[in-house]
């Protein structure tokens, strides 16, 4: 009985707007029928009022459709699959750690503890230069890694979609730590001989959430450039950015970050409204850079010996949680059903004005989304968001398995997660997907996609040869 009442409440609250609109239209039709056409002809004032109202209505509708935001379609995407010769099993990582940190037993012990609890599996990969002892990567090594990752993903994307590189109108590349001259976007234009009037952009230094920043950038560009294709490339180049020192706060990224990249094809062409995989519904960006702690919690710096690396502050998880709350406060009204918004409002009013001893109501986002893609930054990140959003193990399965198979691939990890869901056959037409990314600065960005058609697993997927082994059971690990 109680469940039936809840369902009825949710149904009525969700469709109250439609009910009101239908009621108003019905009343207007009834009034129009009462006043027959001959009555309007005999009363010139009534006729003028009716014509004026009709023209005004048509003008408003025309203005709405002319200025309506263009629908952004995701035609397809491709993720880079590293060759197996680049994999870093636990035994290899252990051996390298024992050699490199032989004189620093405490740092070695810390790094091994991180690896044991990281959630990474035996098939994650690092670029070729980092397999050498000692590792001394140079600019050429970084360029080779860039070409391997990006060109492989782009080749797969063009093969899957059949799009000619010369048809691309907009190109956006995001890579935080490697910013050569000419830029990475210029490397792509040169490789695929793209048009001279292509609008190309290269984003750097924006952390693991830069992928969704690029999606938002592409969305805004596609609003002002009709009938266009946009390619977004998200990656992180590791060769020149591996930390060679002994500082614990800077050793952590060495244990988590692995090779990866993704290429995404977006368009505003209505000809793709049936064959596109997804439709972009919302992008919400939150930037906490005005707060000093948030700004400094993830930073690239030198240690006492001059080794450059990424330092992670102990407040990182707290700052990430606060950023997520701010992002949710904006996202919630856009996606939550009216029933959840009303419950949140009643709870807030009760605590604020009636001084009731109530716990703050956390909206149930499972009623708004069918799938969740949480940035695979590490086991602790996934655990914390699963707890905060009250998600089930199934909801975070894609994030955990992506971390296990590919590691933290930075901004591209969200696309490996969607690829996992597709390979498992979980993505159905009408499903809504919530992508959540975190990055230095500190930023929390999220995007909402709606599945546009039935999606089947393809042989081009990065998961194609291993999806049958997943999900795997992860060993329990204590908190770091």
Q: pLDDT tens across 375-392, in order?
A: 998 898 899 999 989 999
Is the pLDDT higher at 153 or at 28?
153
> What number is the average pLDDT over the span 393-398?
95
pLDDT at 128 (0 to 100): 93
Among residues 352, 332, 240, 230, which one has the least CA distance to residue 286? 332
pLDDT for 400 beyond 90: yes
Distance CA 24, CA 136 (A): 73
Bridge partner residues of 183 (DSSP): none
pLDDT at 72 (0 to 100): 96
pLDDT for 478 beyond 50: no
Using one digit for the tens of pLDDT, what is the confidence trace for 126-153? 999 999 887 888 999 999 999 999 999 9
Distance of CA 374 to the CA centre of its chain: 8
> What number is the average pLDDT over the span 39-55?
57
pLDDT at 273 (0 to 100): 92
Residues marked active site are found at: 208, 287, 371, 375, 404, 408
Under the banding of pLDDT at 50, 70 and 90, the label for residue 24 is low
Among residues 476, 417, 424, 406, which one has the least CA distance to residue 449? 417
Backbone φ, ψ for residue 436 (5° rounding)? -125, 120
pLDDT at 106 (0 to 100): 80
Distance of CA 360 to the CA centre of its chain: 27
Is the pLDDT higher at 172 or at 118?
172
> What number is the average pLDDT over the span 57-66?
60
pLDDT at 100 (0 to 100): 78
Q: At CA 399, angle to CA 438 and CA 210, rounded to 5? A: 30
pLDDT for 186 beyond 90: yes
pLDDT at 469 (0 to 100): 93
Polymer length of the chain: 480
Which two tokens mark 148?
């391997």
pLDDT at 213 (0 to 100): 96
pLDDT for 465 beyond 80: yes
Please state, for a pLDDT cut of 90, what percent of the chain lies above it. 55
- Give how far Cα 263 sits from Cα of 221, 259, 403, Å: 17, 14, 19
Task: Catalogue the long-range contacts made by 466-473 (C-beta closer than 8 Å, 24 or more residues apart).
Answer: 466/123, 466/405, 467/420, 467/423, 467/424, 470/401, 470/404, 470/405, 470/420, 470/424, 471/397, 471/400, 471/401, 472/121, 472/401, 472/404
What pTM value is reported for the model?
0.85
Using one digit for the tens of pLDDT, what is the confidence trace for 72-110? 999 999 999 999 999 999 888 888 878 877 777 787 788
Under the banding of pLDDT at 50, 70 and 90, the label for residue 50 is low
């Amino acid at each position: 009985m109680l469940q039936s009442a809840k369902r009825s409440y949710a149904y009525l609250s969700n469709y109250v707007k439609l009910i009101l609109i239908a009621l108003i239209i019905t009343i207007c039709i009834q009034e129009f029928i009462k006043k027959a056409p001959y009555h309007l002809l005999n009363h010139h004032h009534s006729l003028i009022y009716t014509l004026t109202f009709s023209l005004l209505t048509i003008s408003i509708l025309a203005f709405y459709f002319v200025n309506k935001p263009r629908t952004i379609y995701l035609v397809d995407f491709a993720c880079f699959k590293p060759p197996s010769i680049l994999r870093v099993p636990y035994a290899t990582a252990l051996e390298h750690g024992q050699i490199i940190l032989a004189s620093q037993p405490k740092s070695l012990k810390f790094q091994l503890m991180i690896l044991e609890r990281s959630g990474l599996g035996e098939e994650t990969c690092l670029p070729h230069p980092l397999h050498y002892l000692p590792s001394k990567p140079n600019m050429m090594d970084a360029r080779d890694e860039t070409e391997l990752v990006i060109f492989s993903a782009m080749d797969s994307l063009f093969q899957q979609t059949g799009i000619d590189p010369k048809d691309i109108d907009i190109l956006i590349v995001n890579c935080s730590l490697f910013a050569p001259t000419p830029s990475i976007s210029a490397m792509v234009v040169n490789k695929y001989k793209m048009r001279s009037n292509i609008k190309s952009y290269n984003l750097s230094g924006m952390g693991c959430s830069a992928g969704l920043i690029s999606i938002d950038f592409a969305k805004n560009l596609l609003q002002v450039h009709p009938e266009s294709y946009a390619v977004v490339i998200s990656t992180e180049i590791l060769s020149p950015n591996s930390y060679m020192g002994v500082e614990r706060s800077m050793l952590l990224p060495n244990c988590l970050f692995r090779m990866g990249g993704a290429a995404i094809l977006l368009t505003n062409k209505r000809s793709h409204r049936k064959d596109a995989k997804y439709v972009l519904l919302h992008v919400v960006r939150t930037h906490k850079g005005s707060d000093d702690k948030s700004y400094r919690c993830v930073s690239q710096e030198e240690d006492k010996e001059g080794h450059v690396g990424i330092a992670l502050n102990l407040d990182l998880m707290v700052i990430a949680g606060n950023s997520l709350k701010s992002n949710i406060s904006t996202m919630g009204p856009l996606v939550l059903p009216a029933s959840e918004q009303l419950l949140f409002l009643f709870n807030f009013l009760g605590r604020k004005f009636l001084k009731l001893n109530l716990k703050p109501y956390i909206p149930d986002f499972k009623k708004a989304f069918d799938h969740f893609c949480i940035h695979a930054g590490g086991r602790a990140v996934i655990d914390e968001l699963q707890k905060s959003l009250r998600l089930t193990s199934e909801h975070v399965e894609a994030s955990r398995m992506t971390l296990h198979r590919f590691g933290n691939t930075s901004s591209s990890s969200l696309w490996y997660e969607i690829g996992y869901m597709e390979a498992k056959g979980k993505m159905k037409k009408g499903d809504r997907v919530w992508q959540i990314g975190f990055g230095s600065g500190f930023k929390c960005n999220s995007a909402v996609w709606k599945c546009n058609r039935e999606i089947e697993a393809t042989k081009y997927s990065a998961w194609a040869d291993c999806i049958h082994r997943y999900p795997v059971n992860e060993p329990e690990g204590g908190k770091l």
